[in-house]
């Protein structure tokens, strides 16, 4: 084998290893009944993911955000209806969970590259790569629903909010816990870098 071929092979191997370091999965852990019930209530709220505003200026700001994010996301989600529905749901579920929509978009970028039917080698599913065991712990045991856009985003945002609360607001540790790599830097750093790319300032 030529040196050039071996060099390329080494680079590909290194890239694959670094991707594996970022990919991970939530770990099933014991939850207090109050936490489990709160999570269960959060994911069964049947209200449609439509933002409502009492202040017209906030609505205008949201519409500007929607237009800007739609433009940025065009290459990943070319269908305009799918793209707008996805962004509306991200906004709704992020705000509902007390999260920054830009952070959720960054996490989706890292977890699934905006692929609705993404599945990891450990079985994590959908946009936010939610592990199927969550449907047993806090849902109706139907893990196929994790490929449904709103269900996946609702689970993902609710679980991330829980981890942030568990880690007393420490995003680095909460993101690591979400990924099943608590204490290791690759995943939190990747999400935080992606988060910056989705920030909206107007």
pLDDT over threshold 50, residue 2: no
- The separation between CA 168 and the C-alpha centre of its own chain, rounded to angstroms, equals 20
Domain ranges of the chain: 3-197
Phi–psi pair at 85, nearest 5 degrees? -65, -40
**Of 198, 195, 166, nearest to 182 (Cα)?**
166
Domain covering 3-197 assigned CATH 1.10.530 in the classification: yes
pLDDT attached to residue 14: 37
CA distances from 197 to 85, 91, 109 (A): 20, 16, 10
Indicate the range of 33-37, 78-82, 104-108 predicted with least confidence.
Answer: 33-37
pLDDT attached to residue 74: 97
pLDDT attached to residue 46: 67
pTM: 0.83
pLDDT attached to residue 6: 38
pLDDT attached to residue 132: 93
Q: What is the pLDDT of residues 133-177, one digit of tens each?
A: 999 988 889 999 999 999 999 999 999 999 999 999 999 999 999
CA distances from 56 to 52, 63, 101 (A): 10, 11, 20
Q: How confident is the model at residue 38 (pLDDT cuts 50, 70, 90)?
A: confident
């Amino acid at each position: 084998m030529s040196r050039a071929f071996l060099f390329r092979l080494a680079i590909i191997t290194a890239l694959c290893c670094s991707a594996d370091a970022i990919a991970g999965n939530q770990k099933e852990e014991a939850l207090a009944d109050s936490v489990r019930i709160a999570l269960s209530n959060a994911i069964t709220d049947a209200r449609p993911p439509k933002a409502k505003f009492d202040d017209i200026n906030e609505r205008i700001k949201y519409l500007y955000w929607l237009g800007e994010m739609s433009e940025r996301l065009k290459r990943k989600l070319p269908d305009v209806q799918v793209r707008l529905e996805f962004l509306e749901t991200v906004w709704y579920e992020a705000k509902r969970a007390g999260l920054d929509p830009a952070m959720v978009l960054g996490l989706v970028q890292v977890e699934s590259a905006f692929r609705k039917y993404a599945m990891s080698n450990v079985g994590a599913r959908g946009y936010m790569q939610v592990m199927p065991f969550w449907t047993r712990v806090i849902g109706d045991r139907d893990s196929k629903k994790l490929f449904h856009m709103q269900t996946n985003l609702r689970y993902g945002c609710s679980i991330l909010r829980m981890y942030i609360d568990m880690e007393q607001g420490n995003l680095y540790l909460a993101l690591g816990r979400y990924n099943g790599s608590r204490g290791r830097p690759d995943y939190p750093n990747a999400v935080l870098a992606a988060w910056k790319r989705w920030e909206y300032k107007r």
